[in-house]
Amino acid sequence: MKMYNNYFVCPFCNASVPLKHDTNLSKSLYFNMNIAHFEDDNDSRNSYIFEINMNYCPVCRKTSFFAQGNKSLSEININMYPLSSAKQLPKYIPNAIRNDYEEACSILFLSPKASATLSRRCLQGMIRDFWGISKSTLFEEIANLKDKVPLSQWKAIDSIRSIGNIGAHMQKDINFIIEVDPNEAQQLISLIELLFDKWYVSRHDEEELLNKVTSIANSKKIIK
């Protein structure tokens, strides 16, 4: 679930919904929560706070559930319904690419390293499908992409490859482990989503607009 300071993004329809009393309800759970005064304020059970967020979307009229840990459980972030934070992608994006993206989202907190690896594979599928660049390695494919996209975009794309490599390839020293935390894996997913918009969605919208304008011009010719 993607929540910001004053709004959340609905995982069902991608609508941005303001966080208000009629769209968001949060409940915190912890030991001794029904006791007004604790005998021992330092009791570790009093710091185990677990928060359930319920977000209602007035656009699609669906409610999503997200569980988040605080204090000593701060590493817990769980999508309860739907199970994944993946955006609903248009069907004109190839199914294999959508599947990799959705799986990367679904295991984000369970295994950030594996999520980063799937983002890497998703990126490779996009480069091959959208740009028609297919080489023996992703490194070569990204090198061939350099002159086709803005430099800042290309640098970020190369970063997906290098971070995704952590999970895709074992280090020479198998006892040396490079971790990828959930926030880092989430940034890779966010970049993949940006590329969906910049590449697939922009191309589709442009083609749709051009076809409409051409259709208007053709209809005028018939009238003449």
Task: Using the predicted structure, report yes or no on whether residue 169 has a pLDDT greater than 70.
Answer: no
Residues 6 or more apart from 147 whose CB is under 8 A from it? none
Identify residue 156 by its one-letter amino acid code.
A
Mean pLDDT value across residues 90-99: 96
Identify the DSSP state of 80: E
Question: pLDDT tens-digit profile of 7-48?
Answer: 988 888 888 999 999 999 988 777 665 554 445 555 555 555
Q: Each residue of 22-56: b (16+ CB within 10 Å) or e?
A: ebbeeeeeeeeeeeeeeeeeeeeebebbbbebebb
Contact 75, 69 (CB under 8 A): yes
Mean pLDDT of 81-91: 86
What is the distance between the alpha carbons of residues 87 and 72, in angstroms, rounded to a whole number? Answer: 30
Q: Check residue 183 and give its pLDDT.
A: 82
Whether the Cβ atoms of residue 104 and residue 115 lie closer than 8 Å to each other: yes
**Domain spans in the chain, listed from the N-terminal domain onward:** 1-83, 110-215
DSSP character at residue 44: G
Q: What is the mean pLDDT of residues 210-223?
A: 85
pLDDT at 177: 43
Band of the pLDDT at 196, cuts 50, 70, 90? very high
Band of residue 141 on the pLDDT scale cut at 50, 70, 90? very high
Q: List, for residues 122-140, the tens digit of each pLDDT value.
A: 999 999 999 999 999 888 9
Pairing state of beta strands 62-71 and 2-3? unpaired
What residues pair up with 26 in beta bridges, in sequence order? 53
pTM for this entry: 0.72
pLDDT at 47: 57
Q: How far apart are CA 89 and CA 74, in angstroms?
A: 30
Q: Judge whether 109 and 31 are in contact, CB under 8 Å.
A: no
Q: What is the CA radius of gyration of the chain?
A: 22
Per-residue confidence (pLDDT) for residue 42, from 0 to 100? 58
